[in-house]
């Protein structure tokens, strides 16, 4: 521990040190390995996103089990895929007290088929849009602080899908309720 911070960073399936460790073995890396791992998860009744969230929650379990960690002060942050992981895990576990998600927030409905190329298979939840959209997931993090930062030209986070998140708290709440 240095300067009061304890950090844990895990590689997603098929990324970093786990690249080539999927069902296709060491010869299958990158996008091909990610697709095979995703297909395997679908056959088993899981999604790549769900598999990654399981990893995130297990990492959080481990972090919170460490004696040097003040569990009242645990936060999460990420960029791009890490941002998606941030807002999902904030929604799933109240042990996280704050979060910062950079460059990956939009409504799934505003991600047209042409824009899906900006996201890996890890981003999608089968059947999700039949029931709810991004704001329903993000709302589960309330009332804990969660900062989102997105660029206006980020192809994976179209501005029309994040514009509704602007304004004061009561305006945002009214916009979410109206959708």
pLDDT 10s digits, 148-174: 888 777 777 777 766 655 455 544 444
Across the strands, what pairs with 99? 76, 146
Q: Whole-prediction pTM value?
A: 0.82
Return the structure tokens found at 51: 């598999």
What is the 8-class DSSP label of residue 131?
A: T
Range name among 8-12, 52-56, 94-98 with the lowest pLDDT average: 8-12
- pLDDT tens sequence across 72-92: 999 999 998 899 999 999 999
Buried b (16+ CB within 10 A) or exposed e, 132-171: ebbbebbeebeeeebebebeeebebbbeebbebbeeeeee
The least confident of 65-79, 87-101, 108-122 is 108-122
Cα–Cα dist 37/169, whole Å: 40
7 conformational bin, left if phi > 0, alpha if psi -120 to 50, beta if neither: beta
Q: How far apart are CA 6 and CA 149, in angstroms?
A: 23
| 121 closest CA partner among 40, 59, 54, 23 | 40
For the segment 106-127, the average pLDDT, to the nearest whole number, is 75
């Amino acid at each position: 521990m240095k300067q009061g911070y304890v950090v844990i960073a895990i590689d997603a399936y098929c990324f970093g040190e786990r690249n080539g460790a999927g069902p296709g073995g060491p010869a299958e890396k990158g996008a091909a390995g990610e697709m095979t791992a995703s297909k395997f998860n679908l056959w088993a009744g899981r999604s790549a996103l769900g598999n990654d969230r399981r990893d995130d929650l297990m990492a959080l379990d481990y972090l919170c089990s460490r004696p040097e960690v003040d569990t009242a002060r645990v936060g999460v942050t990420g960029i791009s895929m890490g941002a998606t992981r941030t807002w999902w895990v904030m929604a799933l576990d109240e042990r996280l007290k704050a979060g910062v998600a950079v460059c990956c927030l939009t409504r799934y409905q505003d991600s047209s088929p042409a824009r899906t190329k900006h996201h890996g298979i890890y981003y999608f939840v089968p059947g999700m849009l039949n029931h709810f959209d991004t704001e329903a997931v993000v709302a589960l993090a309330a009332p804990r602080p969660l900062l989102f930062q997105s660029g206006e030209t980020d192809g994976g986070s179209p501005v029309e899908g994040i514009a509704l998140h602007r304004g004061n708290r009561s305006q945002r709440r009214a916009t979410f309720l109206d959708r």
